[in-house]
Amino acid sequence: MSSAIEPELLPLTAEEGPAGLTVGAVPLTELARRFGTPLFVYDEEHLRRRCQEAVAAFGRDNVAYASKAFLCTAMARLAHEEGMLLDVASGGELAVALRAGVPADRIVLHGNNKDEAELRRAISARVRHIVVDSFDEMDRIERLHATGELPPAQIQLRIAPGVAAGAHESIRTGGSDSKFGFGLADGSATTAVRRAAASPAMVLEGVHAHVGSQVLDATELAAGAAAVARFAAQSGVCRLTVGGGLGVVYEAGQSAPTFAEWAVRVRDAARGAGWDGDVAVEPGRSIVARAGLTLYRVGTIKHIHGVRTYVSVDGGMSDNLRPALYASRYEAFLPRSPRSPRPLRARLVGKHCESGDVIIDNAALPADLQVSDVLATPVTGAYGYAMASNYNKLPRPAVVFVRDGHARVVVRRETEDDLLRLDTDAAPVEMSVRSGAGELVAARQSSV
């Protein structure tokens, strides 16, 4: 591809001005100069509009933002302000949501292996419901309830309906061979409903399923909805949640359903399967992906004659793991000249000590690309910062929200002090362990 970057890949408020591309009326090159790179930039107006569209399509009590896509206190607060519930998948995400001021009864807790501490906090806070994923989790809830300290847990049961969808095997979650949920095919879903309904520790309100992620065909989402809706109707529960999974456009030539189209398809499928109630969903990627982009600084351009050109930037797999993890594809452009043709072909790579640290394998770039240029990869608002790491001890980037000519830092850039804050100089600890014969043997921890 040698054409300019497609507008459909950019945040809603993106416009070209004298200083190049602006988002939220702020030039991207100025953001890079002021806040440094790598830098995650989110169009706040875009985020709010997407939340509003989702609520309009499904209803205020039927749509939860899947916070695993991107979460900080500012994002949790924004989603709540726009009428969304919040879907969290760990005790840490729950803590962020509560700190942001989201009422517990607007939070739902997910996770395939919640420990007792996570369950205790969720039940004591009185979250809206817990999505129970296994019989072992039921055991934990019943043990906690038996102490007499906690009320019964409001729950939904996660079902594996035998329908899997998604752009990559690792994000197809609804099949029979899945770590998530109670299977329909083997009868464990039916057993789980009976046990939950009979348990004084749980109040069963509904069933839940999620068939996969980055789904661009609404037919696949409808198929998953039909499978779990049929089971929900037979089980006599009062709530049905069909998860998220709605995909977004990452490359030119792709298309994705709207929230309104998604709502029509899953509702029709659920009604056709015998369900006559509301249908709840949990979009994440489709709320935040296109709203965000990543700014990098070009550090090295290496031409290998007869082989390829490498363009290295100051981030990489530590701020965008998806290409290495899922073979995800992106595009790139120069914010200083967003309409420039992109005839140069190069492998866009990061600065990590890994040959697999590839952001775009065969990137289309402007011919006048130079060292020190600010380069942008769009549609990185989902699972970029959320999966960021400190590999090679790189500090994680800052995150800024832009709107109406203003920028605000919602997550500061990490420093070297942050990288060292968990290291300790603690003295070795003497341990006691049992040998196979049952004798106590002193074992002293030693440093190598």
pLDDT by residue for the chain (448 residues), tens digit each?
578 999 999 999 999 999 999 999 999 999 999 999 999 999 999 999 999 999 999 999 999 999 999 999 999 999 999 999 999 999 999 999 999 999 999 999 999 999 999 999 999 999 999 999 999 999 999 999 999 999 999 999 999 987 654 443 533 444 467 788 999 889 999 999 999 999 999 999 999 998 888 889 888 889 889 989 999 999 999 999 999 999 999 988 899 999 999 999 999 999 999 999 999 999 999 999 999 999 999 999 999 999 999 999 999 999 999 999 988 999 999 999 999 999 999 999 999 999 999 999 999 999 999 999 999 999 999 999 999 999 999 999 999 999 999 999 999 999 999 999 999 988 899 987 765 555 444 444 444 3
Residue located via tokens 């994000």: 171
State the pTM of this model.
Answer: 0.92
Judge whether 159 and 233 are in contact, CB under 8 Å.
no
Please name the CATH architecture into which domain 7-42+290-420 falls: Beta Barrel (2.40)
Helices (H), 255-357: 259-272, 285-288, 322-326
Give me the torsion for CA of 104, 107, 113, 116, rounded to 10°: 10
Please name the CATH architecture into which domain 44-288 falls: Alpha-Beta Barrel (3.20)
Determine whether 353 is an active site residue.
Answer: yes
CATH 3.20.20.10 positions along the chain are 44-288
Strand partners, 17: 20
Give the C-alpha separation, 360 to 312, whole Å.
11
Phi, psi of 369 (to 5 degrees): -55, 135
CATH 2.40.37.10 positions along the chain are 7-42+290-420
Name the active-site residue from 51, 72, 238, 353: 353
